Amino acid sequence: MKNIDSNNHVQGKSIFIDDITVSQNSLYAVPFCSTIANGKILSINLSEALKLVGVIDIFTHNDIPGENQIGAIIQDEELLAEKAVHFIGQPIAIVVAETELIAIKARELIQIDYDELEPITDVRIAKKKNSLIAPPRKFELGNTDSAWENCPFVYTGTVKSGGQEHLYLETQGSYAIPLENGNIKIFSSTQGPTVVQKIGAKVLGISMNNIEVDVTRLGGGFGGKEDQATPWAVMAMLSAHKLNKPVKLVLSRYDDMYMTGKRHPYETDYKIGLSEDLKIIAFEAEYLQNAGAAADLSPAITERTLFHSTNSYFIPNVKATVYSCKTNLPPNTAFRGFGAPQSIFVIESAIKNVANQLNIPAREIQEINFLKEKDEFPYGQIVSDVELQSIWQTAHNNFNFYDLEKSVCDFNDENDLNKRGVSFIPITFGISFTNTMMNHARSLVHIYQDGSIGISTGAVEMGQSVNTKMIQVASNVLSVNTDRIKIESTNTTRVANTSPSAASSTADLNGKAVEIACKALLTRLVGIAGQILSTEVEDINIHNEYVFHKNKKTNIKWEELVWEAFTRRINLSESGHYFTPEINFDKNIEKGHPFAYHVYGVAITTVTVDCLRGNYEIESVKIIHDFGKSMNQEIDNGQIEGALVQGIGWVTMEEIVFDDKGTLQSKALSTYKVPDLYSAPKSIQIVPLDGRGSDKAILKSKAVGEPPFIYGIGSFFAIQDAISVFNPDYIPKYEAPMTPEKVLLGLYQKK
């Protein structure tokens, strides 16, 4: 089935926040934000700004009727700064005017005085000063302390990875409409409608049932709208509530880039020990996560960093510790992979370092250490349904590693100024929210009198095509055509208490809820068909829009059956509730079974480095991926391609730069380079593994949203290898992104 939005998207007909028809009396809001990274607010003078014609009002923390608190996990973030500011871009006031332009002009007239303090931007300094978001977390397996003496090979190192701008095409935005009796309806570009509803109610001092959040779709989220759509939505609601007029707040690209948080940069020290036969015996890592000025989702992200510290390998002795460091940068947040790409980059760097020291391909170490059935993850879950061996074998069968490596060698022998490198990245990604309580979802399915169907779920469409998948699920269970089925907007009055659409789990959780509701409706309809045909329900089934009796097609069509059911006063609506069975995790002992299942894969990346210029091209990425039984191979391939290129961007060219005052330097697309078509791999081959799937995946079709981001890491190591071929003096540093500048310096580095 084709993505249901594809036609409208390419014709510009799809509706995003900025396309909603606004009512005539609507007002426009822009945030006024801090220009210093740390300090006290001494005074703020709004009078000049308020004088500007067309300005309606300016709200500060004094205007908040409820609590000035938007922290979701830890209550450490004000909606509007009261006495102090902690990062550049922190909202202090909301300017509301008749037009957006007037509001922007007015905010330039606000006068503010600060008592400026020294900011912290560096994680090592933050850790030394004990500036932490939460106490450190530690996952342990075996005993690393006593393991080192049994390791003939022991290496240490430091790995750094940078931040990443989400760059969703649609910036953060919302449109709030006041209704009667103090109620509010808000359209928000959010992955978490319930988060917006809950925090909005808290800030406005009203109940959750006073707020209706509605989401048609997002022009991309990538994690950046799991938590960070909330402040802008709440500001719009607050303004609408105060003024009793609709208020729209859509961030400009510039505001969005400097006010919102990004992927967390990490700095990690590790120690790795191997036996003579290259078994990894022990691994220690101390991850320093740059959380920024408030917790946001950082505590949950530290958790996933630890869960993926050993990637696809069984290591009997592990000690992984993570410090979430509080700095004076915008609070960093969820971004595809949720802290896992960062720790997988560390273990892969450690393995690569060992391989370089021993002068062997990293592939040999990877292969020997793959997880096997019944191995234990450092967090206690026992490995089952592992696909790594079969993936590796499939990869070798399809692409023959030796031929591939030889062709790279041959190329390098024949070319002086262009050099190639190749790398292998296996992935193992846990599917479920690591916070067990979040793993549930609901659906509401209506069959109308004419046989058409409307489905509501808690799933938010953000380009990942979850709505298309929901239609496929309903169509599959009811055996009706997909064009009978409409997906409604995601709305908190129809489906309440939703988890954010995140953790790659949206299709699984909401799809299972749709499946449950549809099965209940089907049972009812089959019962009616049994009555009509005066026969046992066991003999009835519905197939391709017709009632079948003893597997023979009858002349009762779907819509006739539905109408019959209606006339017999049968309920044609049903809600479904699903929660992932079996999962659990005990944070006190840091052990449990947090994931419904794992997704596996491998990417083989070949790059060519231009050794005069320091440019590089990704020649090819060959992927064997464990989709389970994909319910939509084209959509899933699209997810792989998008995630891969996003991952390549993260480790090769996207460089977030803050100066030591905490000012974002890379604040526009002129200074922040994201992959374009020319930097995408020339060839992407995706071979689905003939895998077993999982019963906890919807229709056995495994989650696919985040895991393939990690394939992008391969380009980093492949580029390094190419540099090493050209320059034997090159000493690799494991610091992403590997920008062309760094490549050029590497190519001409001297001993």
Do 709 and 335 touch, CB atoms closer than 8 A? Answer: no
Figure out which of the listed residues 323, 335, 345, 578 binds ligand MOS, where binding follows CB under 6 A.
Answer: 335
Question: Which of 170, 212, 226, 706 does the annotation list as catalytic?
Answer: 706
- The DSSP line for 114-147 is EEE------HHHHHHTT-BSS--EEEEES-HHHH
Stretch near ligand HPA under the rule CB under 6 A, chosen from 54-62, 296-304, 414-422, 541-549: 296-304
Stretch near ligand HPA under the rule CB under 6 A, chosen from 228-236, 373-381, 428-436, 735-743: 428-436
Site string for ligand HPA, 500-519 (x = CB under 6 A): --xx----------------
Q: Which residue has the tokens 């992403």?
A: 736
- The DSSP line for 467-536 is HHHHHHHHHHHHT--GGGEEEPPEETTTS-SPPPS-TT-HHHHHHHHHHHHHHHHHHHHHHHHHHHTTS-
CA distance 88 to 93: 14
Q: Which H or E run contains 421?
A: strand 418-431
C-beta neighbour count of 403 within 10 angstroms:
9
CA distance 501 to 620: 31
Stretch near ligand MOS under the rule CB under 6 A, chosen from 36-44, 219-227, 449-457, 563-571: 219-227
Reduced DSSP (H G I as helix, E B as strand, rest coil) percent helix, strand, coil of the chain, to 5 = 35, 25, 40
Do 509 and 499 touch, CB atoms closer than 8 A? Answer: yes
Length of the chain: 751
Q: Does 165 bind ligand MOS (CB under 6 A)?
A: no
C-beta neighbour count of 543 within 10 angstroms:
11
| Nearer to ligand HPA (CB atom), residue 317 or residue 505 | 505
Q: Does 341 bind ligand MOS (CB under 6 A)?
A: no
Helices (H), 665-733: 714-726
Figure out which of the listed residues 502, 518, 532, 623 binds ligand MOS, where binding follows CB under 6 A.
Answer: 502
Figure out which of the listed residues 157, 193, 219, 223 binds ligand MOS, where binding follows CB under 6 A.
Answer: 223
Least distance to ligand MTE, CB of residue 466, Å: 4
| Known catalytic membership, residue 617 | no
Q: Does 220 bind ligand MTE (CB under 6 A)?
A: yes
Q: Does 346 bind ligand MOS (CB under 6 A)?
A: no
Q: Does 462 bind ligand MTE (CB under 6 A)?
A: yes
Q: Does 605 bind ligand MTE (CB under 6 A)?
A: no
Figure out which of the listed residues 309, 343, 439, 504 binds ligand MTE, where binding follows CB under 6 A.
Answer: 504
| Nearer to ligand MTE (CB atom), residue 461 or residue 619 | 461
Least distance to ligand HPA, CB of residue 502, Å: 4
Do 657 and 666 touch, CB atoms closer than 8 A? Answer: yes
Stretch near ligand MTE under the rule CB under 6 A, chosen from 227-235, 483-491, 501-509, 552-560: 501-509
Say if strands 247-250 and 453-457 run parallel, antiparallel, or are unpaired: unpaired
Q: What angle do CA 677, 679, 681 make, to 5 degrees?
A: 90
Choose the contact partner of 464 out of ligand HPA, ligand MTE, ligand MOS, none; CB within 5 to 8 A by kind.
ligand MTE
Where in 506-565 is the site for ligand MTE (CB under 6 A)? 506-507
Q: Does 72 bind ligand MOS (CB under 6 A)?
A: no
Q: Does 302 bind ligand HPA (CB under 6 A)?
A: no
Q: Which residue has the tokens 């610091």?
A: 735
Figure out which of the listed residues 16, 32, 175, 222 binds ligand MTE, where binding follows CB under 6 A.
Answer: 222
| Nearer to ligand HPA (CB atom), residue 305 or residue 605 | 305
Where in 224-253 is the site for ligand HPA (CB under 6 A)? 226
Q: Does 436 bind ligand HPA (CB under 6 A)?
A: no
CA distance 610 to 349: 23
Q: Does 444 bind ligand HPA (CB under 6 A)?
A: no
Where in 636-655 is the site for ligand MTE (CB under 6 A)? 639, 642
CA distance 624 to 630: 13
- The DSSP line for 605-625 is EEEEEETTT--EEEEEEEEEE
Do 730 and 633 touch, CB atoms closer than 8 A? Answer: no
CA 610 to chain centre: 33
Q: Does 434 bind ligand HPA (CB under 6 A)?
A: yes
Do 240 and 177 touch, CB atoms closer than 8 A? Answer: yes
| Nearer to ligand MOS (CB atom), residue 335 or residue 717 | 335
Q: Does 338 bind ligand HPA (CB under 6 A)?
A: yes
Choose the contact partner of 506 out of ligand MOS, ligand HPA, ligand MTE, none; CB within 5 to 8 A by kind.
ligand MTE
State whether residue 34 is helix, strand or coil. Answer: coil
Residues that bind ligand MOS (CB under 6 A): 191, 221, 223, 226, 334-336, 338, 502-503, 706
Residues that bind ligand MTE (CB under 6 A): 220-223, 336, 462-464, 466, 501-507, 639, 642, 703, 705-706
Q: Tell me which residues are annotated as active site.
A: 706
Residues that bind ligand HPA (CB under 6 A): 226, 297, 300, 304, 334, 338, 433-435, 438, 502-503
